[in-house]
A and B are shown apart, each in its own frame.
Chain A
Amino acid sequence: MAGASGKDKLLTGIFWLAGIFIVLILAGIIGYVLFRGASSLSLDFILQPPSRAGRLGGISTTIVGTVYLTLLALLAAVPVGVGSAIYLEEYAHSRSRFAKLVNLTAETLAGIPSIVFGLFGFVFFVIFLGMGWSVLSGGLTMAIMILPTITRTAQEAILAVAGEYRENSLALGASRWQTVRRVILPSALPGIVTGIILSIGRAVGETAAIILTAGSSLGMPVSPMDPARTMSVHLYIMAMEGISTERAFGTACLIVVLIVIINYLANLSLSRLTKAMR
Chain B
Amino acid sequence: MDNVVSTKQEIKMKSVDLQVFYQDFQALHGIDMDIKANHVTALIGPSGCGKSTFLRTLNRLNELIEGTTIKGQVYLDDQAIYSKEMDVVGLRKRVGMVFQKPSVFPMSVYENVAYGPRIHGIKNRGQLDEIVEKSLRAANLWEEMGGRLHTPAARMSGGQQQRLVIARVLAVDPEVILMDEPASALDPISTSKLEELIAELKRAYTIVIVTHNMQQAARVSDYTGFFLNGQLIEFNRTKELFVNPANQQTEDYITGRFG
Contacts of A164 on B, CB cut-off 8 Å?
99, 101, 103
- Chain A residues within an 8 Å CB radius of B93: 172-173
The residue in chain A whose Cβ has the minimal distance to the Cβ of B87 is A173
Q: Does A278 contact B (CB under 8 A)?
A: yes
**CB within 8 A of B169: which of A166, A172, A182, A187?**
A172
A276 within 8 A of B: yes
| Contact present for B165 and A277 (CB under 8 Å) | no
Task: Report how far A171 CA is from B97 CA in the complex, Å.
Answer: 6
Asked if residues A171 and B61 are in contact (CB atoms below 8 Å), the reply is yes
Cβ contact within 8 Å between B96 and A277: no
User: Which among A95, A167, A278 is the interface contact of B61 at CB below 8 angstroms?
Assistant: A167
Known: A173-B89, A173-B120, A276-B152. A168 touches B105 (CB 8 A): yes
Q: Does B14 touch A at the CB level, under 8 Å?
A: no
For B106, give its contact among A167, A170, A173, A278 (CB under 8 Å): A278
Q: Complex Cα distance A175/B119, Å?
A: 9
Q: Quick check: B120 and A170 within 8 Å, CB to CB?
A: no
Is the Cβ of A172 less than 8 Å from the Cβ of B99?
Answer: no
Does the CB pair A175–B105 fall under 8 Å?
no
* Chain B CB within 8 A of A186 CB: yes
A94 close to chain B: CB less than 8 A: yes
Query: A39 contacts which chain B residues (CB < 8 A)?
Result: none
Q: Counting CB contacts under 8 A, is A174 at the interface?
A: yes
Query: From residue B171, how far is it (CB to closest CB) to chain A in Å?
Result: 9
* B59 contacts chain A at the CB level, 8 A cutoff: yes
Contacts of B120 in A (CB 8 A): 173
In the complex, what residues of A have CB within 8 A of residue B89's CB? 173-175
Chain B residues lying within 8 Å of A95, measured Cβ to Cβ, are 66
Closest to B95 in A: A171
Question: Would you give the shortest CB distance from A277 to chain B, in whole angstroms?
Answer: 4
Check B16 for interface membership: any CB of A closer than 8 A: no
Q: Given the interface contacts A170-B64, A278-B152, does A165 sit within 8 Å of B108 by beta carbon?
A: no
Distance (Å) between the CB of B76 and the closest chain A CB? 14
Min CB distance A167 to B, Å, is 6
Could you say which of B107, B108, B119, B152 contacts A173, with CB atoms under 8 Å apart? B119
On whether the beta carbons of A278 and B119 are closer than 8 Å, the reply is no
A166 to B, closest residue via Cβ:
B64
- Contact in complex: A171, B106 (CB < 8 Å): no
Q: Assess whether A183 is interfacial by the CB under 8 Å rule.
A: yes
Interface SS of chain A: helix, strand, loop or mixed? helix
B172 at the interface (CB under 8 A from A): yes
| Cα A277 to Cα B106 with chains together (Å) | 6
Closest to B104 in A: A168
Q: CB of A178 within 8 A of chain B?
A: yes
A183 and B105 within 8 A (CB): yes
Closest to B66 in A: A93
Tell whether, in the assembled complex, residue A277 and residue B107 are in contact, meaning their CB atoms are under 8 Å apart. yes
Beyond A173-B116, A173-B119, A182-B115, whether A277 also contacts B108 by CB under 8 A is: yes
Question: Cβ of B61 and Cβ of A170 under 8 Å apart?
Answer: yes
CA distance A175 to B120 in the complex (A): 10
A186's contact among B106, B169, B172, by CB below 8 Å, is which?
B106
> What residue in chain B is nearest A96 (Cβ atoms)?
B66
Given contacts A174-B119, A178-B119, A277-B108, is CB(A168)–CB(B99) below 8 Å?
Answer: yes
- Residues B103 and A171 in contact, CB atoms below 8 Å apart: no
**Smallest distance from the beta carbon of B180 to chain A beta carbons, Å?**
10
Shortest Cβ gap from B108 to chain A (Å) = 7
Interface string of A146-176 (1 = CB under 8 A from B): 0000000000000000001111111111110
Which chain A residue has the least Cβ–Cβ distance from B67?
A95
Q: Verify A168–B165 contact, CB threshold 8 A.
A: yes
B92 at the interface (CB under 8 A from A): yes
Q: Is the CB of A168 within 8 A of B103?
A: yes
A89-113 interface code vs B (CB 8 A; 1 in, 0 out): 0000111000000000000000000
Q: Are B154 and A172 in contact (CB under 8 A)?
A: no
Give bound CA distance, A141 to B220, whole Å: 63
Select B152's contact among A94, A165, A182, A277, beta carbons within 8 Å: A277
| Residue B163, interface by CB 8 Å | no
| Interface pairs (11), CB distance under 8 Å | A168-B103, A168-B165, A168-B168, A169-B105, A171-B99, A171-B169, A172-B92, A175-B89, A182-B119, A187-B106, A278-B152
User: What is the interface of chain B, defined by CB distance below 8 A to chain A?
Assistant: 59, 61, 64, 66, 89-90, 92-93, 96-97, 99, 101, 103, 105-108, 115-116, 119-120, 152, 154, 165, 168-169, 172
7 nearest A-B residue pairs (beta carbon): A173-B93, A164-B103, A171-B97, A173-B92, A172-B116, A277-B106, A174-B119
Given contacts A164-B101, A171-B97, A173-B90, 20 further A-B contacts (CB under 8 A): A164-B103, A165-B103, A167-B103, A168-B103, A168-B105, A171-B61, A171-B96, A172-B92, A172-B93, A172-B115, A173-B116, A173-B172, A174-B115, A174-B119, A175-B119, A182-B119, A187-B106, A277-B107, A277-B154, A278-B152
